[in-house]
Structure 1
Amino acid sequence: MARARQERAEITRQAILDGAAIAFDDSGFEGTSLSDVVKHAGVTKGALYFHFPSKQALARTLMDEQFQVSEHLPAIEDPGLQTVIDLTHQMAHGLRTNVRIRAGIRLVIEFGSFTSPDPTPYDAWIDTCRNCLAPAQRVGDIHPALDVDALSALLGSVRRIMVGARV
C-alpha cells in the first residue's frame, strides 16, 4: 500500500515538473503563474505545494535537471574526447526534444542575465569537459601542446551560445 502511494506521488511530482517545464518554456519565470503550472500538469495546487514549497523551488529543480546529460560520466571507464563529443550531441538533442531541458536552461539564463549569467552551470560543464579531455590528452587523442583548460572553457562558451540560441 505504501509503495503504491509512493509511486503515485512520484508520478504526480513528474507531472508537475512536466507542466512547469511547458509553462516556463513558453512564458519564462516571471510570465508563469502556479495556476499555469497546475493547468499544464493536470494536478491541484495542493498537490503542487505538497511536492514544491514555491515557484522558485520548482524552477530550481528544473534548472538542476539540465545537467543529467553528464550524470553517468563517473561510470564511464575511460572518459575521453568521444565522451565530450557525445555529451555535446546529447545536450543539442535535448534542447530540441526535451521541454524540461529547454525550460531549465531558460530559467538559468533568466535568473542570471546574458551579461552576468550564473557561472555555476557553466563551471560544471567546463569541469566535465576537463575531466574527459585531460585523459584524452594523456593517451594522445589531443595534441600535447593544446591547453586542455582553455579548450574546456571554450566548450563551456560554445554551450552557453548553444543554450542562448536554443538550438
Structure 2
Amino acid sequence: MARQLRAEQTRATIIGAAADLFDRQGYESTSLSEIVGHARVTKGALYFHFAAKEDLAHAILDLQARASQQIVAETEARGGSSLETLMRTTFGIARLAVEDPVPRAGLRLATADVPLRAPLRHPFTEWLEFATRKLTGAVREADVNAETDAPAVAHSLVCFFVGTRIAGRSLEPVSRLPRRVAEMWQLMVRGMVPVHRRPRYLALASQLEREITLG
C-alpha cells in the first residue's frame, strides 16, 4: 500500500511539473529532461509512468476534461437559466486556470498539435457542444435575441475564452483571467441579450468575477 501511494504521489508530481512547463514554455519547447529536472525525479521514475511526452500531455488533457465536466455537472445542478449556467461554467473554468497549473496547461495544450486517443475528446468539441446547447436554450428562454445563431456565437465564445488566455499569457498574470472573462461577457451580453434582461446578466458577470478574485 505504501509503495502504491508513493507511486501515485510521484505520478502526480511529474504531471504537475510537466503542466507548469507546458504552460510556461509550450508543449513543443519542453523536453522530457526538463520535466525530470523540474519534478526532481529520475528518468526511470518518469518512464515508469509515462512512455513519451505525448502520454504526459494526454494525462493533463484528461484531468482537465474531468475537471471541466465536474464544473458543468455542478453548475447544471444549481438550476438557473441556460445563460446563467453557461456564464457560471466559463468562470468556473477560469477559476481552475487561476488556481491549478494542470487545467491551465490543458488550455494551452488544447491549441497544440497533440494527438488525442479515444475516449478522450478534444476540449473544444465538448465546449462547443455545451455552449451551443446552452445558447440554444437561452434563445428559447428569451434571454438571448431570437435571431441569434447559437452555433456561431458558441464558436466565438470558445475562441474568445481560449484566445484571451493564450494571448494574455506573455502580457499579464493569469490572475487577470477573471477580469478578461468578465469583459468578454459584458461585450456578449450587450450584443445578444434583450435590453430589459441585460442588467441581470451584467451584474452576474461582475459577481462571478468578484467571487474568484476574493477567493
Instruction: Name the TM-score class by shorter chain.
Output: 0.7 to 0.9
Residue 63 of structure 1, CA deviation: 3.1
Deviations 1:92-144 (A, max 9, x none): 333334322332232333327xxxxxx94322211111232333333333333
Q: In 1, are the aligned partners of 2:61 and 2:106 still within 8 Å (CA)? A: yes
* 2:83/2:143 contact within 8 Å kept: yes
Matching of residue 47 in structure 1 with residue 45 in structure 2: yes
Report the AA paired with residue 50 of structure 1. Answer: F
- The secondary structure found in structure 2 opposite 1:140 is coil
After TM superposition, the structure 1 stretch with the greater mean CA deviation from structure 2, 66-75 or 77-86, is 66-75
Q: 2:143 aligns with which of 135, 138, 141?
A: 141
Aligned equivalents of 1:107 and 1:146: distance in 2?
31
CA distance in 2, matches of 1:149, 1:27: 32
- In 1, the alpha carbon distance for the partners of 2:150 and 2:92 equals 21
**Aligned with residue 134 of structure 2, among 126, 132, 138:** 132
Percentage of identical aligned residues: 37
**Which fold has the larger relative contact order, with Cα–Cα distance below 8 Å and residues 6 or more apart in sequence?**
1
Cα distance change of structure 1 residues 153 and 106 upon mapping to structure 2, 3 Å threshold: closer
1:163 maps to which residue?
A: 165
Aligned residue pairs, count:
159
In the TM superposition, structure 1's runs of 4+ consecutive aligned residues that sit over 6 Å from their partners are none
Gaps of 5+ in 2: 115-120, 170-176, 178-215
Contact 1:66 1:104 survives alignment (8 Å)? yes
Asked if the contact 1:122/1:160 (under 8 Å) is kept, the reply is no
The offset of 1:11, in angstroms, is 1.6
Q: Do the aligned residues in 2 keep the contact of 1:123 with 1:156 (CA within 8 Å)?
A: no
* CA displacement at 1:42 relative to structure 2: 2.5
TM-score when normalising by structure 1: 0.77
Report if the CA contact (8 A) 1:130-1:149 is conserved. Answer: yes
CA RMSD of aligned residues (A): 2.6
Question: Counterpart of 1:111 in 2: which secondary structure?
Answer: coil
| Cα deviation 1:57-104 (Å, max 9, x = unaligned) | 112222343334431224624472112111221233333343223322
Q: Residue 107 of structure 2 contacts residue 162 of structure 2 at CA under 8 Å; is this kept in 1? A: no
Partner of 1:66: 64
User: What's the offset of the Cα at 1:45?
Assistant: 1.7
**Cα distance 1:22–1:144, how it changes in 2: closer, same or farther (>3 A)?**
same
Unaligned 5+ runs, structure 1: 113-118
Give the residue type in structure 2 aligned to 1:29.
Y
Residue 10 (structure 1) aligns with: 8
Change (3 A) 1:136 1:53: same
Output aligned runs, 1:37-116, within 5 Å: 37-72=35-70, 73-74=72-73, 76-77=76-77, 78=79, 80-111=82-113
Q: Confirm or deny that 1:152 pairs with 2:137.
A: no
